[in-house]
Amino acid sequence: MSKTKKAAIANKLTQAEYLLNRELSWLEFNCRVLHEAKDERNPLLERLKFTAIFSANLDEFFMVRVSGLMEQVDADVRKLTPDGRSPQQQLDEIHDRLSQTVTEQHRYFEQELRQKLTEFGVYLLNYIDLNQEQRGYLRHFFEERVFPVLTPLAVDPAHPFPRLSNLSLNLLVVVQDPETQKERIARVKVPNTLPRFISFPPALQQHGADCVWVGVPLEQVIAHNLEFLFPGMNIQEYYVFRITRDADFPVQEDEADDLLLAIEQEISKRRLAGFVVRLEVQAAMPEHLRAGLMHELKVGEQSVYPVEGLLNLKDLMYFLSLPLPELKDPPWTPVVPPRLKRFTELESSHDSLSPEDTEEFFALIREGDILVHHPYESFAASVQQFLVCAAYDPHVLAIKMTLYRTSGDSPIVQALIAAAENGKQVAALVELKARFDEENNINWARQLENTGVHVVYGVVGLKTHTKTMLVVRQESDQIRRYVHIGTGNYNPKTAKLYTDLGLLSCREELGADLTDLFNYLTGYSRQQSYRQLLVAPVNMRARMLAFIQREIDHAQQGRTGRIIAKMNSLVDPIMIAKLYEASQMGVEIDLIIRGICCLRPGLPEVSDRIRVVSIVGRYLEHSRIFYFENNGDREVYIGSADWMPRNLDRRVEAITPIADPALATQLIDLLHLMLADNRLAWDLQPDGTYIQRRPQPGEPERNSQTQLMEQARQNL
């Protein structure tokens, strides 16, 4: 094919008609989450969990994505998205879609889930349904526990409208002065320092012997005791409302003398400083009060979402703590990876790690690469143990790792501190710009610095998203490097909830590549070539495009062209155009994309050889796997990057090849297992909608996550 014809095809395949909108695709993903709340095949409390996740996802969507679109509209930005939409068009479509979906979510919770809970002894009541004894208990609770915390704020010429904090739940109260008969407006914040749902002691539950929990929302307790806050006034009416602010903040890294301090200062502003992007109100709020709120908060009609029933349903996560195991997924305890069982059995006989113990762990890696799959296999017994052994091993000289997100009481951070205290040279790259974890990461950075760890914040202008760890060890008369390269954060808590992969290896090429990568991150380096790693923004995009082109070449020469790729999101127009070209040239392509997908599969003569499936289930699919058949010389890669412009161009990412044929086969089998799923899988249609797969009559149910748990059990 001539260069001119290739260029013409490439230009055609980047046209707007061949791309789905990023924001609308994300809304489709969140609708799949909401569907899990409606799916009666899921246990009841898990359905509540998905309802809460849907709301939590929306909060972040508004704080980051919608706020960005609103800023573009205010700045009169007219540049269209790759799919041909203006910022205002996107806002219009988001509002139209969400108005319906949010109404549907709240109606389903109020009419279905809330009622269903009562069948299992869980009664989330309204205050008006309580008897006198229960009201008396709540009045006492209010006086003792709630009243001292509250601060009613008047709204009048002497008291300007208060600054409301992000995601705060509030009461708008109308009171009447009995002397002047004038009505006044006040705001009362529902404190987030108290539980959202207030339960009754067993003696007051009044719902039979099988009752598990009875209670009411905190805002109703406050609302029905407003006379304590406004003595001498007549309480006319009250309504609950909630605001969401822009939470994205810019930091000029190249102008900041101290990046940590600059981000810390921005965090302190975020709670109150961002403009309001969403106003949620009780549907019963009268028009004049709603209009007054809109005026004070400077929001338009498009930013207002009336709600029937409870606001802020993400607080429903509270009910997952109830002692009702039959209403939850069966508990899962991650298994020890088969190759590491020997170490676990050895280590369990000692009170603390001895040099013999740590030597045994590193010896297991020297026997061959180890692939771990969380949460099916234990993070604590593999990745975490790798770091702990390195921290205490007398032969380890240095440890280097990246920290994008970690847990609040992280054993990972404690192991790094122990390593520094044990005389190792320890370097940690802490990403201060990890959205919504900035404050947590600042705290860890300071704690690490105070104990002698070399803390760096990465490369100016780039986020460091790669999940890598390098351990340098003295062995006899040589230095050996051990590595971990993964798809997920070094976070023991999310390792139980997200599906992620990690490779433990001492292959010399990977050790050398990670040494170069960490020098790039911590020092001044223009490293442009790596032996095996694909590194963004250096060579990853070019290498991935070359891999796709190689499959095209095979197909054009009459051989088999085959690609399977698993990611969180597929957005990048250049990568999408290359996949379209591959499809046109005869390459068969299966994509497993959990969330956003801007590629349109199944378009005649464009993408009719491309299939896209999304898997939404008990665990958040987070691993990234890339398989290229390469005419039988199969290549498989795992790593931290999606095919999005930010991952390929604006973040430091690392993807590693899986060199061990047995491990590569294991990953290929994993991909085929997911492609065969008929329980959690959704097929993307050319118009951007999704259809959930269902077992055909007589066909067994294939839940890929359940199957992977069963496989892990069999390896015990």
217 forms beta bridges with 197
Select which of 373, 465, 484, 622 is catalytic. 465
Residue whose tokens read 């940690």: 428
Give me the amino acid identity at 88: Q
Rounded CA-CA distance 482/574 in Å is: 35
- As given in the structure block, the two tokens for residue 499 are 């599906």
Burial class (CB in 10 A: 0-12, 13-18, 19+), 694: exposed
Contacts of 710 (CB under 8 A, 6+ apart): none
Yes or no: say if 544 and 643 are a contact pair by the CB < 8 Å rule.
yes
Yes or no: say if 187 and 193 are a contact pair by the CB < 8 Å rule.
no
Rounded CA-CA distance 660/654 in Å is: 18
Among 499, 631, 514, which residue's Cα sits nearest to residue 567? 499
- As given in the structure block, the two tokens for residue 161 are 């409208």
Give me the amino acid identity at 178: P
Among 568, 565, 570, which residue's Cα sits nearest to residue 20? 570
- As given in the structure block, the two tokens for residue 182 are 């004038």
Rounded CA-CA distance 574/82 in Å is: 10
CA distances from 537 to 459, 540, 611, 646 (A): 11, 6, 28, 9
Rounded CA-CA distance 488/465 in Å is: 9
Handedness of CA 398, 494, 345, 666 (dihedral sign): negative
Three-class SS of residue 413? helix
Yes or no: say if 685 and 602 are a contact pair by the CB < 8 Å rule.
yes
Contacts of 360 (CB under 8 A, 6+ apart): 342, 343, 346, 347
Rounded CA-CA distance 603/580 in Å is: 9
Three-class SS of residue 250? coil
Whether 350 is catalytic = no
CA–CA–CA angle 329, 377, 351 (5° rounding): 110
Handedness of CA 152, 155, 161, 167 (dihedral sign): positive
Rounded CA-CA distance 711/704 in Å is: 10
Yes or no: say if 399 and 409 are a contact pair by the CB < 8 Å rule.
no
Q: Please identify every residue annotated as catalytic.
A: 465
